Amino acid sequence: MAGIQADPSAPGYQDFVIAPQPVGDLKQVEATFQTLYGTISVNWTKENGIFTLRANVPVNCSAQLFMPGEETPRLLKSGSYSFTKNL
């Protein structure tokens, strides 16, 4: 549900994918995943038609973020991020 996935071309989660799946009446998901490079965290909420995602990408890592309904990923480098989107 949080959408943390390995990138097959980068073993060890140095590069990874975040593709959250907000389904049904689910209003919130939180997930963490420990890697050799640090902790990946994803938290999303869905309220009143607004989807909010917060993510942490460890140092020396990158992620491709696919927001719900989007086919083109956003490239995230190391750091903390927050995004909102109308569903």
| Domain range 4-86, CATH class | mainly beta
pLDDT tens-digit map of 15-35: 999 999 998 899 999 999 999
The residue-averaged pLDDT of 43-61 equals: 97
The residue-averaged pLDDT of 47-73 equals: 96
Return the closest-CA partner of residue 18 out of 74, 86, 60: 74
**pLDDT on residue 9:** 86
**What is the pTM assigned to this prediction?**
0.92
**pLDDT on residue 12:** 86
What percent of the chain has pLDDT above 90?
A: 86
Domain residue spans in the chain? 4-86
pLDDT tens-digit map of 70-86: 999 999 999 999 999 99
Residues 66-74: contacts with CB under 8 Å, at least 24 apart: 66/3, 66/17, 66/18, 66/19, 66/20, 67/20, 68/20, 68/21, 68/22, 73/17
